[in-house]
Structure formats: structure tokens, C-alpha cells
Amino acid sequence: MKHLVTGGSGFLGNLIARHFSALGESVRVLDIWEDPERPAQIEFCKIDVLEREPVRQAMQGIDIVHHTAALVPLTKSGRRFQAVNVTGSQIVAEEAANAGVQCFIHMSSSAIFGAPDCPVTNETSLKPLEIYGKSKLDGELAVRAVAEQKGMKLIVVRPRTIIGEGRLGIFQILFDWIKENANVYVIGDGSNKIQLLHAQDLINAYICVYQAGKPGLYNVGTDRYGTIREALENLSRHANSRSKVKNLPSALTVTTLEVLDRLGLSPLAPWHYLTYGKDFYFDIEPLTALGWKPKYSNDEMLREAYDWFIANYEQLTGASIGSPHRRKVKEQLLSILKIFSKRG
């Protein structure tokens, strides 16, 4: 098999590319930046998903497309979300179909559901809360329309928040605060249930779907999770940190974070602060019925990611290039809150 991974230098795309390369399969990566640590056997193409002709050329000889390229909430990209996440996805899907690929795997997002009643199923209404979620929904719908029109096999994956070794972004802020014994915060009382997903469990899930010959829509998350307060307290204990979990009033906190976001004083995007204090978990029975079972619980994946962060901390201090989920995030005004949180 020959695989094409769009966004293959990013956090998830990089793991997908390395996974299939390690199995001895041929892998081609399409991205706008090159990972300097990319294994030599993985082919790299510096291509923007909005460039139709280069995308068409990159599709030649490809059997399976893993479409992970997207602008994520951290980028706060405004109108560019629609261009990359919708138009770019449509171009990649159209050229994949024209090239006769066997299967197109589209990485969607749980943000397409907004703040839903849980558990989320395929019958749950799609009501994104903000511009990123809207772009991911429009992108998914565009890809589905192409696949239906062209008769291309399509697996659409809607993952919960993905964790794994090398994941930075917003988690870098959390890990850094716990490392420095700063208190960490929940919106509300922290009793909302949050489901996470390990990157390797995600890959295994859609391999299971592909091998079962069951294209379709799949919501993916771990089967072992609890409240956000439990997750943070358990991680703090694992880290031997003096960090405590503190409550913040819901309405006031969300309003304050929205103002800071608009003023460019916070790294948090609407998707983060509008959903952090709410339940969010999937019904994963359609996947488990196919024989898939996640290996990692919330606690296990957070511990693994934190330990990797600590082990690589010195190398990460200057990490400022690459995809948003693989580089450090500037804390902005949150750095002041961190100072006061150490005293609370």
C-alpha cells in the first residue's frame, strides 16, 4: 500500500506517517513545512492543500489518503479556517477521487457538535459554536459530497481531544503549570465528564474500520474517563506536584476569556473556553462492535504525555516552529495568572 498523509508534519499526521512507514509501507507526506526529524524513507512534498495541480501530482500512485491537514483553534485564523479546512479539504478529496484512491480517511473534529447533550452519537445534531467548528463541519460535508458523487470509499473520523507523546499546544501550558507547582483551574466545579483519545488508539480505530470494510462516520474516544477535576488531580499526584485544582465561576470566566481572546491577550480560542466546563463524551459502541478497544484511559494518556514533556523539557524551551500542536504556546496574560496561582 502507498499512503499519502496531508498535514504529515503535524502532531497526528507525523504519527500516522511513521506508523505505516514502520510497517514497511510506502508513505508520502504533504505539508507546508518539513519536519527535520522525518525518517528518510518517508517522502516529503512541500505543498499547500489549496494548490490543486501540485495536490493532483502528489496523488499519483496513492492507495489510501489520510487527510489531517487543517488549521486548528490555536491558530485563530479567522477567514483562513474556511479556506484551508473547507476548500482545501474539497480539493484533496476531489483529486483523490480522480486519482482512483482505494480509501479516503478524513480527520474531522468533535467541534462540529458544539456543546451537545452526551453521550454523542451519529444522531446528535451538528451545531458548532464557533468559526473553527463551523469550518470543520463544512469541510466534512464537502468531502462527503465528493465521495458520494465519485463513489470513493470514505471513513470520517471525529476524534475527541487527541493526546500522545509530543503533543504540546494547550497541554504544554497545563504540563508546565503542574511542573512548577502552580494551581490549575476548572470552569465551574469540575464535575463535567471529559473524554480524551490517545493518538495510537485513533490510528488503530480507523485501521479496524478499514479492515472491516465498513466506511462511514465514526466518533472516537477512550472508554475509560471521568471528570475534568479527577483527570487534573490524578495528573498532579502522578507528577508529585503541589498543584491544586481550583474552581472558577462559569459565566464570568467564559466572558473574561472571550474579552481577552478578542484583545489578543490569551492563547485560548473559543473552542477551548466554550467547552472546557461542559460534559463531552462519545458513544463508541459502533467501533467496539467491530472489535476495536482503546488501550489508553484518560489518566494513562495524560501521564504518558506529561512524562514525555518532562523528559524532553530542555529541548522544548526553544520549540517555536512547526505545527501548532508540536510547538510551545505563548501564555500571554495567563503567565500573570500563573504567578498568582502559585500563592493560592
Cβ–Cβ under 8 Å, residues 187 and 256: no
Cβ–Cβ under 8 Å, residues 143 and 106: yes
Return d(Cα 256, Cα 235) in angstroms, integer.
Answer: 27
Phi first, then psi: give them for residue 294, nearest 5 degrees.
-65, 140
Cβ–Cβ under 8 Å, residues 254 and 242: no
Cβ–Cβ under 8 Å, residues 6 and 65: yes
Return d(Cα 196, Cα 344) in angstroms, integer.
Answer: 28
DSSP letter (8 states) at residue 99? H
pLDDT of residue 75: 80
Residue 39, sorted as left (phi over 0), alpha (psi -120 to 50) or beta, turns out to be beta
Nearest alpha-carbon partner for 159 in 216, 230, 225, 106: 106
Q: Which long-range contacts (CB under 8 A, 24 or more apart) does 337-344 make?
A: 338/177, 338/180, 338/182, 341/177, 341/182, 341/183, 341/184, 341/185, 341/246, 342/180, 342/181, 342/182, 342/183, 344/183, 344/244, 344/246
Return d(Cα 300, Cα 199) in angstroms, integer.
Answer: 12
Task: Enumerate the β-bridge partners of residue 315.
Answer: none
Nearest alpha-carbon partner for 20 in 65, 56, 58, 59: 65
Say which residues have a Cβ less than 8 Å from residue 51's Cβ, sequence separation at least 6. none
Q: Mean pLDDT of successive 10-residue segments in the chain (344 residues)?
A: 95 93 97 92 97 97 97 86 97 98 97 97 96 97 98 97 83 91 94 97 94 95 97 97 95 92 84 92 96 97 95 71 49 58 58
Nearest alpha-carbon partner for 97 in 65, 139, 51: 65
Cβ–Cβ under 8 Å, residues 43 and 294: no
Ordered structural domains, the chain, with CATH: 2-162+195-220 (3.40.50.720), 168-194+225-279+299-341 (3.90.25)
pLDDT of residue 269: 85
Q: Where are the beta strands (DSSP E) in the chain?
A: 2-6, 26-31, 43-46, 64-67, 103-107, 154-159, 161-163, 184-187, 196-198, 216-220, 245-248
